[in-house]
C-alpha cells in the first residue's frame, strides 16, 4: 500500500502530501495529520527528487503539441463561432421574446383609419 489517508497510524518512512506539497518524515510510528480527505503517498526522497526532471522532460517534449492544440481550438472557435452567428441571424422566426403583444398585433387595416 503506497497511499495513506490522514489519521492513519504509519510506520517509519517519508510521506508526501502531493496536494499541498508537504513532506512528513516519520522516525518511529505516528499518526498522519489531517482528516480522511488528506492523501499521503509513501515514496523515498531520492525517487521523488529523480521524478522532477523526468516530469520536466515530458513537459518539454509535449509542449509543442500543447501549443498546436491550443491554436487549433482557438481557430475552430473563431470559424465555428462566426458560422453560428451567421446561422442565427439568417434563421429568424419573427419572434421577439421581449415584446409582449398584450393588446394584440396591429393590422395594416387599423393603421390606415
Query: Cell numbers at residue 79, please?
Result: 470559424
* Residue 99: count of CB within 10 angstroms of its CB: 8
Q: Same domain for 36 and 57? A: no
Condensed to tens digits (0 to 9), the pLDDT of residues 3-12 reads 888 888 899 9
Task: Tell me the pLDDT band of 113, cut-offs 50, 70 and 90.
Answer: low
HSE-CB of 9 using CA atoms within 13 angstroms = 2
107 is a domain residue = no
Residue 36 belongs to domain spanning:
1-43
Residue 92 DSSP SS3: coil
Is the CB of residue 59 less than 8 Å from the CB of residue 39? no
Please check whether residue 105 lies inside any domain of the structure. Answer: no
**Are residues 23 and 1 part of one domain?**
yes
Choose from 9-23, 55-69, 79-93, 99-113 the range with maximum mean pLDDT: 55-69
Q: 63 and 27, same structural domain?
A: no
Give yes or no: residues 3 and 31 share one domain: yes
How many percent of the chain have pLDDT more than 70? Answer: 84
Kindly tell me if the per-residue pLDDT of 46 is higher than 90.
no
Give the integer Cα–Cα distance in Å for 25 and 46: 14
Amino acid at each position: 500500500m503506497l497511499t495513506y489517508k490522514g489519521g492513519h497510524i504509519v510506520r517509519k518512512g517519508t510521506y508526501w502530501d502531493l496536494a499541498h506539497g508537504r513532506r512528513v518524515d516519520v522516525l518511529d510510528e505516528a499518526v498522519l495529520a489531517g482528516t480522511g480527505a488528506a492523501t499521503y503517498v509513501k515514496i523515498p526522497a531520492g525517487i521523488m527528487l529523480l521524478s522532477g526532471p523526468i516530469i520536466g522532460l515530458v513537459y518539454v517534449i509535449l509542449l509543442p503539441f500543447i501549443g498546436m492544440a491550443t491554436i487549433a481550438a482557438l481557430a475552430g472557435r473563431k470559424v465555428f463561432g462566426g458560422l453560428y452567428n451567421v446561422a442565427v441571424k439568417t434563421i429568424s422566426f419573427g419572434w421577439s421574446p421581449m415584446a409582449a403583444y398584450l393588446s394584440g398585433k396591429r393590422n395594416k387595416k387599423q393603421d390606415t383609419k
